[in-house]
């Protein structure tokens, strides 16, 4: 699970190691850092080549945030609906879905999508095409919540302070096969898997899927929201920077020498191939990480410091 953060800084052409830094740390649904620089051409001249941004899975970005003109209407509707309180991890999945990171999903998975993901690591779309989808994105509820929902076809999703976050429409409730979900996702049912213990083992015995309408962009108010660019914002940023190639590096640790060598060497190779302005998307994982991982806030400080002093 992750959230997005994004920084832009300069990168050098030659591969080299990072000098040691005393700073480390970073955190939520995806983090990204990007940097670029104009550099001198390589020794030998190659023809210029260019690549465009690939299409999102399913052909278009599936953004699920309600238009501003409809927010008050949806809030009034939500006040009349049964409520489901989201956990912190649930809220992060709402973030992932709302901005289109899980395109083409239109909300939490219904049973057919859930089973396709478990058994085939993919989804077959209405047009017959297939997209990769190896991790179930589902919302668990317990017996009491299921009873309260009754015959309703819509529910309101609220945060820990009972603020309405979203509406789930045309809902479908089905059994939560926890053991199968764990076994097919992780390849084992051995105890001690952190995410399993936190989000699945003690979760409800039912899953609820449906089409999601998120009332407002998800914010965490932790000083890091400025880094969390949505897919649409990132695509705009790449276009503004006239990127002819984008290469990504995802990590859940502070940047170390090996990371730096991989990043700078990839840029060098792209320039040698003929690209003029390759952009690095440095993509630190946030959201749910291991208990002993360096916190996101500190990782972000380290990333910024490394970029300032080294790149």
- The mean per-residue pLDDT over the stretch 179-202 comes to 94
The domain boundary residue, chosen from 169, 191, 214? 214
- Is the same domain home to 291 and 204? no
Distance CA 188, CA 168 (A): 32
| CA 39 centroid distance within chain | 31
Between 190 and 30, whose confidence is greater? 190
pLDDT (0 to 100) of residue 283 = 87
* Band of residue 12 on the pLDDT scale cut at 50, 70, 90: very low
Residue 250 lies in a domain: yes
CB 259 within 8 Å of CB 33: no
CB atoms < 10 A from the CB of 151, how many?
4
Q: Comparing 39-53, 122-136, 177-191, which segment has the lowest mean pLDDT?
A: 39-53
Between 234 and 37, whose confidence is greater? 234
- The mean per-residue pLDDT over the stretch 52-71 comes to 93
pLDDT (0 to 100) of residue 311 = 54
pLDDT (0 to 100) of residue 131 = 96
Domain count for the chain: 2
pLDDT (0 to 100) of residue 61 = 96
CATH number for position 192: 3.10.400.10
Distance CA 205, CA 146 (A): 10
**DSSP conformation class of 19:** P
Between 5 and 54, whose confidence is greater? 54
- Is the same domain home to 105 and 206? yes
- Is the same domain home to 155 and 19? no
- Is the same domain home to 83 and 29? no
CB atoms < 10 A from the CB of 73, how many?
10
Residue 85 lies in a domain: yes
27-36, 208-217, 224-233 — most confident range: 208-217
Q: Comparing 34-38, 56-60, 74-78, 129-133, which segment has the lowest mean pLDDT?
A: 34-38
Write out pLDDT tens, residues 92-141. Answer: 999 999 999 999 999 999 999 999 999 999 999 999 999 999 999 999 99
The domain boundary residue, chosen from 158, 192, 214? 214
Structure token pair of residue 290 = 């291991």
- Is the same domain home to 246 and 265? yes
Per cent of the chain over pLDDT 70 is 82
- The mean per-residue pLDDT over the stretch 280-304 comes to 86
pLDDT (0 to 100) of residue 308 = 74
- Is the same domain home to 117 and 170? yes
- Is the same domain home to 79 and 203? yes
The pTM assigned to this predicted structure is 0.83
- Is the same domain home to 97 and 193? yes
Q: Is the peptide bond before 213 cis (omega within 30 degrees of 0)?
A: no
Residue 63 lies in a domain: no
Residue 157 lies in a domain: yes
Give Cβ neighbours of residue 47 (< 8 Å, ≥ 6 apart). Answer: 274
pLDDT (0 to 100) of residue 25 = 30
- Is the same domain home to 128 and 249? no
- The mean per-residue pLDDT over the stretch 183-191 comes to 95
Residue 10 has pLDDT above 50, yes or no: no
Q: Which residue has the tokens 């040691």?
A: 20
pLDDT (0 to 100) of residue 291 = 78
The DSSP result for 31-78, as a single string, is --EEE----PPPSS-------PPPPPTTSS----BPPGGGHHHHHHHH
- Is the same domain home to 169 and 246? no
Going by C-alpha positions, the residue among 284, 142, 113 that lies closest to residue 212 is 113
Distance CA 229, CA 296 (A): 15
The domain boundary residue, chosen from 182, 214, 246? 214
Residue 27 has pLDDT above 90, yes or no: no
Tell me the residue range of the domain where 169 lies: 68-214
- The mean per-residue pLDDT over the stretch 255-274 comes to 91
Residue 89 has pLDDT above 60, yes or no: yes
Residue 145 lies in a domain: yes
Between 71 and 51, whose confidence is greater? 71
Structure token pair of residue 143 = 């017996």
- Is the same domain home to 86 and 130? yes
Residue 2 lies in a domain: no
- Is the same domain home to 172 and 80? yes
Distance CA 105, CA 64 (A): 10
- The mean per-residue pLDDT over the stretch 184-189 comes to 95
* Band of residue 161 on the pLDDT scale cut at 50, 70, 90: very high
Residue 8 has pLDDT above 80, yes or no: no
* Band of residue 257 on the pLDDT scale cut at 50, 70, 90: confident
Write out pLDDT tens, residues 197-227. Answer: 999 999 999 999 999 999 999 999 999 999 9
CATH number for position 240: 3.40.50.620
Residue 259 lies in a domain: yes
């Amino acid at each position: 699970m992750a959230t997005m953060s994004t920084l832009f800084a300069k990168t050098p052409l030659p591969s080299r190691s990072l000098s040691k830094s005393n700073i480390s740390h970073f955190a939520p649904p995806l983090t990204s850092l990007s940097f670029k620089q104009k550099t001198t051409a390589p020794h030998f001249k190659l023809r210029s080549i260019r690549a465009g941004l690939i299409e999102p899975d399913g052909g278009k970005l599936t953004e699920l945030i309600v238009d501003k003109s409809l927010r008050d209407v949806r809030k009034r509707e939500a006040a009349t609906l049964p409520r489901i309180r989201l956990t912190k991890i649930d809220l992060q999945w709402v973030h992932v879905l709302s901005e289109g990171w899980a395109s083409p999903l239109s909300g939490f998975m219904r049973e057919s999508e859930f089973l396709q993901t478990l058994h085939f690591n993919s989804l077959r779309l209405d047009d017959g095409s297939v997209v990769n989808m190896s991790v179930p994105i589902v919302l668990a509820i317990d017996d009491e919540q299921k009873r309260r929902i009754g015959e309703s076809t819509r529910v309101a999703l609220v945060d820990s302070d009972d603020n309405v976050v979203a509406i789930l429409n045309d809902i479908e409730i089905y059994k939560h096969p926890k053991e199968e979900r764990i076994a097919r996702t992780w390849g084992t049912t051995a105890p001690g898997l952190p995410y399993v213990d936190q989000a699945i083992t003690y979760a409800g015995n039912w899953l609820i899927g449906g089409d999601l309408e998120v009332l407002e962009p998800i914010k965490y108010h932790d000083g890091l929201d400025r880094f969390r660019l949505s897919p649409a914002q990132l695509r705009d940023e790449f276009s503004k920077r006239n990127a002819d190639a984008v290469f990504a590096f995802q990590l859940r640790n502070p940047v170390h020498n090996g990371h730096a060598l991989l990043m700078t060497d990839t840029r060098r190779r792209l320039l040698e191939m003929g690209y003029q302005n390759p952009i690095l998307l440095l993509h630190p994982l946030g959201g749910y990480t291991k208990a002993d991982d360096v916190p996101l806030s500190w990782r972000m400080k380290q990333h910024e410091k490394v970029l300032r002093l080294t790149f």
